[in-house]
Amino acid sequence: MTAGAEEFARPTLLIVIEHGEDEGPGLIGEMAAGIGLRVLRVGMRDPLPHLDRMPILVVMGGPQAVYHADRRLRDEVALIHDAVTRGLPILGVCLGAQLLAFACGAAVKPGERGQELGLGAITLTGSGLDDPVFAGSGPALPVFHWHSDTFDLPRGSCHLASSDAYVNQAFRLGRAYALQFHIEMDAQLLDAWSRQIPLPEDAQGWLRQTEGLRRAVIGRWLQQAVDAVL
């Protein structure tokens, strides 16, 4: 469901910002559907939300580069910065993670290892193993990668995960979580992305086998976010 500016007269609990076609919230949207969810396609047809009507924010991926940001993306960075300053629960995924890092004063840049793409995993740091969202996931989490940019860790953040290609895969800063990888993958997203990039024949089988682990992480983040605002 998408929402225009006029719909913000009604209260909502969680807002998702999309940046492009086939960049939807997937499992995140499915699991959050019962708590008052609105999806905004910012830059395509919808405006940025008002901060005072945005208890929880999810910022999804997209093809844009933070360091080539246009005015709309710079306005989004400012919105994220204000949300972090107010202590709102935030989840940034892929581009959303880069925007979150940038909004918190960290550098975002092309990755020296090039593109990280396809079925993969992240390894939790010691802090990640103890983190309330990732605790119980085991030392590694199966995820989907699709990025070539990376970010430095913001000052004061907690480093949560790495991969073989890029050391900074996740961090927490206050109530904000940044995930460079895609934890939201569902069958619809995988099908759409398989038409754009090569995937192994067993990709759908991988999705079914790993979905429970990713759902558990999303569920813990969502519960923590809801508890923070209710």
Catalytic site residue 184? Answer: yes
pLDDT confidence bin for 226, thresholds 50/70/90: very high
| Residue type present at position 173 | L
pLDDT recorded at residue 11: 56
Catalytic site residue 94? Answer: yes
CA dist 117 and 50 (Å) reads: 34
What percent of the chain has a predicted confidence (pLDDT) above 90? 84
CA dist 197 and 39 (Å) reads: 25
Q: pLDDT tens across 84-140, in order?
A: 999 999 999 999 999 999 999 999 999 999 999 999 999 999 999 999 999 999 999
Quick count: other Cβ atoms within 10 Å of Cβ 209? 11
Query: Is the predicted pLDDT of residue 44 greater than 80, yes or no?
Result: no
CA dist 4 and 15 (Å) reads: 12
pLDDT confidence bin for 54, thresholds 50/70/90: confident
CA dist 96 and 79 (Å) reads: 12
Q: Which domains are seen in the chain, by residue range? A: 5-229 (3.40.50.880)
How far from 226 is each of 28, 107, 190, CA to CA, in Å?
13, 30, 28
pTM as predicted? 0.93
pLDDT recorded at residue 19: 93
Q: Give the pLDDT mean for 221-229.
A: 96
pLDDT recorded at residue 102: 98
Q: Give the pLDDT mean for 190-196.
A: 95
* Cβ within 8 Å of residue 175, ≥6 positions away: 87, 88, 89, 90, 225, 228
pLDDT recorded at residue 8: 40
Q: From the candidates 19, 94, 104, 116, give the one annotated as an active-site residue.
A: 94
Phi-psi label, residue 151: left if phi above 0, alpha if psi -120 to 50, beta otherwise? beta
Q: From the candidates 19, 145, 147, 182, give the one annotated as an active-site residue.
A: 182
Q: pLDDT tens across 145-181, in order?
A: 999 999 999 999 999 999 999 999 999 999 999 999 9
Query: Is the predicted pLDDT of residue 4 greater than 70, yes or no?
Result: no
CA dist 168 and 161 (Å) reads: 7
Backbone angles phi, psi at 204, to 5 degrees: -65, -35
State how beta strands 37-41 and 140-147 pair: unpaired
How far from 14 is each of 53, 111, 166, CA to CA, in Å?
9, 31, 30
Mean pLDDT for the chain?
Answer: 93
Catalytic site residue 23? Answer: no
Secondary structure string (H, E, C) spanning 122-187 = EEECHHHHHCCCCCCCCCEEEEEEEECEEECCCCCCEEEEECCCCCCCEEEECCEEEECCECCCCH
53 or 8, higher pLDDT: 53
Quick count: other Cβ atoms within 10 Å of Cβ 68? 7
pLDDT confidence bin for 69, thresholds 50/70/90: confident
The Cα angle at residue 54 between residues 186 and 190, in degrees rounded to 5: 10
